[in-house]
Structure 1
Amino acid sequence: MTTKRALLIIDYTNDFVADDGALTLGKPAQAAEPTIINLANQFVERGDVVILPTDLHQQDDPYHPESNLFPPHNLKNTWGREFYGQLQPWYNEHQANPNVWEMDKTRYSSFAGTDLDLQLRARGITELHLTGVASDICLLHTAVNAYNLGYQLVIHPKATAGFSPENQEFALQHFQNAIGARIAD
């Protein structure tokens, strides 16, 4: 049976989620953890794909555009880049599964400069379920690219967080109204 769906858990790392993360979204992002883990388990049980696109930065990179916008975060080989909370042991348990993998990304969109589109098409995937952080930056840019590439989108609001409640609301409205994403219950 060909897999048609993939769950993307975007940037759910200590730097973005933990209280002392370098660029944390704090409690709203932490509240997404049970839903993310539940969705990941559901996808694995059905034999669907689970991908963890994860920001990767170098300390003091003068060529990266984010260096002037945000404090250093998700630096290679740091605690900040490890998955937050129960996602790290979940990933450790499932990483041998060929349908579960982490992928490095260096831009907001999980598609920019990666082979994500090729990997999805090779598996016949047409529907992407987006979770993680930040709904108003990395999820938003990933969703717009996915829309432009013809993927169907499902957004799980209980498994996402934005940098503010207003930004979260804007992102959810944009997903639904501008790119036709389905907002899951």
Structure 2
Amino acid sequence: MAEHEVIHSGYTTASAALLFVDPYNDFLSEGGKIWPLVKAVAADNGLLDNLRAITTAVRANGIRVFIAPHRRWEPGDYADWAYPNPTQRAIMDRHSFARGEWGGEWHPDFAPQSGDIVAKEHWAQSGFANTDLDQQLRQHGITHVIIVGLLANTCIESTARYAMELGYHVTLVRDGTAAFTPELMHAAHELNGPTYAHAIRTTRQVLELLPG
């Protein structure tokens, strides 16, 4: 067992959840504004097939899905902020995840289903900051989060780090995410991830640990 797998590993229907960050068309669909930037890494990872496999399997095993969506851009967002970060400036330029537009809709394979919990939208990179995600997880008895979605080195890392700080057991899924370059994926999983994640696994390894 790797050093970062410090807490045992099994996932139970009562205490585990799949946390899916930003499953928008702009990230995951052909024609999405950000898809061309992640497409090569996503193809190398088998990202879309892995996300389909893991969402199907966790639901079949009675594990709840939580969705942590980014703020859907609206005209004026960030424009008069004192300190918009570089990602927020990029969102202003390209209107990522625009509310009311196709790019800001759920990828059809990953839209919320009955029983899923959709947290309040996050404005920056952590799905926990200024949202109800922690409250929703705790009210449903969740202690272990399996985190997938986009991007590996921004929203996934920020959300996962925050989860660790709040006391959750954190699993990163190295082929259930993507980034703009292989170097950013390496940094997310080989350099940064082992400093905070309790487990870093592949989709196949996660599926082997599900209760069913």
Distance 1:63 1:4 in 2: 41
Q: Give the gaps of 5 or more residues in structure 1.
A: none
Amino acid at match of 2:76: D
Amino acid at match of 2:104: R
Report the TM-score, using the length of structure 1 for normalisation: 0.86
Between 169-178 and 71-80, report the one with greater CA deviation: 169-178
1:3-60, Cα deviation, whole Å (9 max, x unpaired): 2011011112111223432223224336311111211122212221101211122233
| Contact 1:9–1:131 (8 Å) recurs in 2 | yes
1:78-115, Cα deviation, whole Å (9 max, x unpaired): 11012225224xx3xxx222xx1333222211001111
In the alignment, does 2:70 pair up with 1:55?
Answer: yes
| Contact 1:60–1:67 (8 Å) recurs in 2 | no
Between 54-63 and 141-150, report the one with greater CA deviation: 54-63
Distance 1:83 1:29, change over 3 A: farther
Q: Give the gaps of 5 or more residues in structure 2.
A: 1-11, 203-212
Q: Secondary structure of 1:55's partner?
A: coil
Q: Flag as ranges the 4+ runs of structure 1 deviating above 4 A.
A: none
Larger strand proportion, structure 1 or 2?
1
Partner in structure 2 of residue 86 of structure 1: 109
- Aligned residue pairs total 178
Distance 2:30 2:101 in 1: 16
Partner in structure 2 of residue 40 of structure 1: 55
| Contact 1:143–1:175 (8 Å) recurs in 2 | no
Task: Give the % identical residues.
Answer: 26
| Contact 2:13–2:61 (8 Å) recurs in 1 | no
Distance 2:146 2:58 in 1: 10
Shift of 1:181: 2.9
| Contact 2:148–2:172 (8 Å) recurs in 1 | yes
User: 1 or 2 for the larger relative contact order (CA 8 Å, sep ≥6)?
Assistant: 2
| Contact 1:128–1:152 (8 Å) recurs in 2 | yes
In the alignment, does 2:150 pair up with 1:133?
Answer: yes
